[in-house]
Structure 1
Amino acid sequence: MANTVSAKKMTRKIAKRTAVNRSRRSRMRTFIRKVEEAIASGNPNEAVAALRAAEPEIMRAAQKGIVHKNTASRKVSRLAQRVKALVA
């Protein structure tokens, strides 16, 4: 348990940051899930729309440090690849 004032303050800051990061990660995963559900349903128009909404969310998560930039790019790339296969 934190004893000093500065350590107590850091635990409060960490708790706030953790809550924000958890929310952002959850939001990103929700958008990814929507794309995957659209792909599973077999509706190309819905899948394209979901991907267009998800891509900025994924990249924003990378920008905020929730996921690594390469991880975000990989996720977007693989989703786009699956949507493209569905459309074709």
Structure 2
Amino acid sequence: MAMRNFYNEIKGMKVKDLPSYIKPMLSIDYIKKSICKAMDNYNAKYIQTSSVDPVYHVCFGGMIFSYLVALPEERRHLEHQQHAKEHGGH
């Protein structure tokens, strides 16, 4: 949704005007304000309404995070298995 809004904003611009439009969006202050706005919106949508969704967000986020942390070890393990299978090891 955010990408669609961004695309609609820049759709009618000329290419030479684009860097001057995007550069302020890459500043630390703009990013901090965007994060604060997103947190305020999340608070208003889920926390203030006593929704159960934040519990789901934490559970699924933790599951995804643990999967991503374990992924390099799993890939090394699978590569070792493949190498052993090709060379007759166990």
Instruction: Give your verdict on TM over 0.5.
Output: no
**Coarse TM-score class (shorter-chain normalised):** 0.3 to 0.5
TM-score normalized by the length of structure 2: 0.35
Name the larger-Rg structure.
2
TM-score normalized by the length of structure 1: 0.35
Which one scores higher on RCO, CA 8 angstroms, separation ≥ 6?
1
